[in-house]
Chain A
Amino acid sequence: MWSSPFITTPTSVSQIMLRVLLALIPGIALYVWYFGPAILVSLTLASITALATEAIMLKLRNRPLKPFLSDNSALITGWLLALSIPALAPWWLIVVGTAFGIVIAKHLYGGLGNNVFNPAMIGYAVLIISFPAHMTHWISPNTLGGIGLSFVEQLNYTFNGVLPGGLKLDAVTMATPLDTLKTQLHLGLSVDVIRDMPIFGYLGGKGGEMVAIGFAVGGAYLLLTRVISWVIPATYLGTLFAIAAIFHLADPAHYVAPLFHWFSGAAMLGAFFIYTDPIGSPTTHRGQVIYAAGAALLTYLIRTFGGFPDGVAFAAVLMNICVPLIDAYSQPKVFGKKGDGK
């Protein structure tokens, strides 16, 4: 005997997670198109590490392997981390980050559903604090005349640290647009001048802006399939736009236009894939609005005034901490108890 209801929808956790992975594919495809196949190497490494550490932790915690390995949540952690850090990096960088995220941020908190923080963002935070130098080697996009590395050449660099034809690392990498913007502003240049530099495209950085569009397309798919609700992405992007617009209008020479914030860095990835992680975000509508607005504010502040080039990951971790508090103070009124009786 069991208790009603006797029917359920066919939706499952692993299906939801699988859709998230699928939604990342347009962005990844554009990434490969503009930056070469390096990202595929780190995605593969991240996937293997994520599944392996997940399996080891499940075994140690005496949990069943199959249902948890097939829920695809570990893969999401690996993929999000791989997409957040430079693709051209020694193999151990992504391995350490992913393993740290899965072991410390996920399983030591009780595994799927119990983690306070987004494991991928914890992995990112650990890497950028521990290995800041390695985290700056972003590949130049092909459109900038960058030397496109083949898949084999990528592998050779990842595992042996050798670039083809005695190339220096600087020849194939560059600072990110956000980083460039920040350093150039420090040098006293105005936004207009900086934006004329070759690495900048129409919306954000060359190549990067297209990847961001890819992520937005994936996000639209998630919205349409109701995997995520519109509240967090809309609030996040809206707030980010509003804050950036205020600063930009007040002083266009020092503060870049809002669209640039949307399409550079990990803002789109964050809006649709990181902040929408249900485990680390509030469950109430009002709470989600507060959470996403707070994340946008922190992202902007860290990007504009902070010491790190991008603020998406730190904003996620900082807002994750606030979730229980936000939930507690944003409880909606229940049916029939809204005061006016109507």
Chain B
Amino acid sequence: MKTEEKNSIDLFNLLYKYGTIFVILATILFFSIFLDNFMKFSNIINIFRSVSIVGLISLAITMSLTVDGLDLSAAAIAGFAAVIAAKFMVIWELGTVPAIIVPILVGVIVGGVNAFFIIKMNISDLLATLSMMFLLTGISVTFQSGTAIYNYMPLPNNQGMAPGVLTDAYLFLGKGTIFRIPVPVIIMLIVALFVFVFLNHTKYGRFFYMIGSNQEAAKLSGIPVKKYKTIAYMMSGFIAAVAGLVLGARMGSGEVSAGDPYLMDSVAAAFIGFSVFGIGRPNALGTILGALLMGTLLNGLVMMNFPYYSQDIVKGIVLILALSLTYYKKKN
């Protein structure tokens, strides 16, 4: 009787810790049996590339999650950054460097504004960043009166052709490769490594997690909660803007509200990340694995000619499974 109970707990713990990994491996195994070219090196690279945008935005969201927040504006910041970059190069001909620096600065500032409304105005994280999401999406539509910004576009009121182009250096961020590895993948991995080291191996990371698990306790132990929350949102804005630059370079244009569709997948990836290795809290490695799980599913299902709605069904089931693992454990 006793041993049996112990065994079942062990099995549960095992499932809890490695359940998500198990799901990922099972997915890979399934596809590699049924699809000839699934395990080709080029396809593995392709999966990484396909999740680079979701990966980066979910890392941005992860930063906000560590301080018990939730940055819903991250995807909109990404879309906004892509439009600003395109406007700088195509319409204003200001060159690559400002087209990269300014969107990133804007991302950081937007993060700061988010934090201001959350901390000073006492609006909940969800609502403050939701409002910011609408605001940014709206502004990015008005930016070029509803149309995308792209090379050789005609200007309104018969003012001829747009003078500038998206520079090769900028496009390299989305289309380039280094030793056969696509640049978006490299950027995602660098940012992931940075977030990982920051959260797990610096005292700031520890403070972030302390704020996230118990804000009152953190405050009582002398951690400047407001300051670190602000920093967390600014970092979220920073990473989201980087995601936007990669997105714009990959598409080769500044598309209107291009970031928005990545929001839900990114939130899902960040939450799947909780369950990886049974960590039970936001973390960089889990987030990237969460993004990769969804990218792998999409990749295989596309190869199998599944239409999008069936992909969504599978995605939903996987998310429910991963979240059940996390929250069932927490409850007990």
Q: Do A and B bind each other?
A: no
Residues of B within 8 A of A (CB): none
A residues within 8 Å of B by Cβ? none
